[in-house]
């Protein structure tokens, strides 16, 4: 097992989605993120499916977490894995969610904003982004 | 040239078929671009259990 730490960055949208989940669903989301963060395997190997360059995790039987996973940064001297959580889909049948095209432009934007190869000070970067580590996530379950 | 449709309608778009995602995914991407992220305290204030 490497010494890398996994951090999760919640987009404002994902936080909004999180806020309207039922308590048990919130627990499922956080528990799943803790599982991923504490797993010996790199986060990208635990992805359920990929759409374009997006990485989708499942939580419980219904919930999908739309993310972009960046393993092992900075390159060559790996300290962290970063999971950008864009959106939480609770898949409630009564909720008709609007679909949008995931265009090449959107895909490119994701590549650009998650391109961390050049980040030299990972600690400062993840702090600026309000990233949560496994312990922070566990605290939310207490 | 193949006219065979993509095996997976939510595919990777590499064949020119752009996949569909919930609209909120795009909003989340914008949020990250604009630095709109949620902290541990923010999430704590949203807990329903």
DSSP chain A: ----EEEEEEEHHHHHHHHTS-HHHHHHHHHHHHHHHH-SS-GGGG-SEEETTEEEEEETTTEEEEEEEEEEESTTS--EEEEEEEEEE---TT--PPEEE--HHHHHHHHHHT--TT-S-HHHHHHHTT-B-HHHHHHHH-
**Which residues from B are below 8 Å from A when comparing CB atoms?**
10-13, 18-33, 35-40, 42-44, 46-49
Domain region containing A109: 5-141
Residues of chain B with C-beta less than 8 angstroms from the C-beta of A63 = none
Minimum distance, in Å, between the CA of residue B7 and any CA atom of chain A: 13
Minimum distance, in Å, between the CA of residue A27 and any CA atom of chain B: 8
For chain A, the domain total comes to 1
- Average pLDDT on A82-97 reads 83
- Check whether B48 has a pLDDT greater than 50: yes
Q: Which of A40-54, A74-88, B13-27 has the lowest mean pLDDT?
A: B13-27
Q: Which of B27, B30, B37 lies closest to A130 in CB terms?
A: B37
- Summarize pLDDT for A9-39 with one digit per residue, the tens: 999 999 999 999 999 999 999 999 999 999 9
Counting one residue from A and one from B, how many pairs have CB atoms under 8 Å apart? 138
pLDDT at B5: 41
Q: What is the CATH number of the domain that holds A83?
A: 3.30.2310.20
CA–CA distance, B5 with A88 (Å, rounded to integer) = 29
Confidence of residue A6 (pLDDT cuts 50, 70, 90): very high
Kindly give the interhelix angle for B23-34 and A12-19, rounded to the nearest 10 degrees.
Answer: 130
Residues of chain A with C-beta less than 8 angstroms from the C-beta of B7 = none
CB contact under 8 A, A11 and B20: no
Burial of A87 (0-12, 13-18, 19+ CB in 10 A): buried
CB contact under 8 A, B21 and A14: no
Confidence of residue A92 (pLDDT cuts 50, 70, 90): low
Q: Which residue of A has its CA nearest to B42?
A: A15
CB-based burial, A22-45: b 16+ in 10 Å, e otherwise: eeebbbbbbbbbbebbeeeebbbe
Minimum distance, in Å, between the CA of residue A138 and any CA atom of chain B: 11
CB contact under 8 A, A100 and B13: no
The reported pTM is 0.89
pLDDT at B46: 98
Average pLDDT, chain A: 92
């Amino acid at each position: 097992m490497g010494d890398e730490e996994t951090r999760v960055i919640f987009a404002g949208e994902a936080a909004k989605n999180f806020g309207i989940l039922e308590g048990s669903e919130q627990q499922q989301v956080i528990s799943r993120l803790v599982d991923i963060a504490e797993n010996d395997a790199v986060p990208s190997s635990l992805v359920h499916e990929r759409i374009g360059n997006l990485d989708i995790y499942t939580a419980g039987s219904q919930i999908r977490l739309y993310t972009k996973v960046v393993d092992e940064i900075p390159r060559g001297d790996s300290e962290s894995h970063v999971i950008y959580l864009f959106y939480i889909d609770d898949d409630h049948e009564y909720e008709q969610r609007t679909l949008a095209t995931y265009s090449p432009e959107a895909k490119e934007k994701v590549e650009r904003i998650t391109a961390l190869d050049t980040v030299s000070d990972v600690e400062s970067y993840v702090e600026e982004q309000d990233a949560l580590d496994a312990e922070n996530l566990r605290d939310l379950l207490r | 040239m193949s006219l065979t449709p993509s095996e997976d309608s939510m595919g990777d778009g590499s064949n020119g078929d752009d996949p569909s995602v919930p609209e909120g995914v795009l909003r989340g991407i914008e949020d990250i671009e604009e630095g709109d992220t949620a902290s541990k305290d923010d999430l704590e204030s949203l807990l329903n259990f």
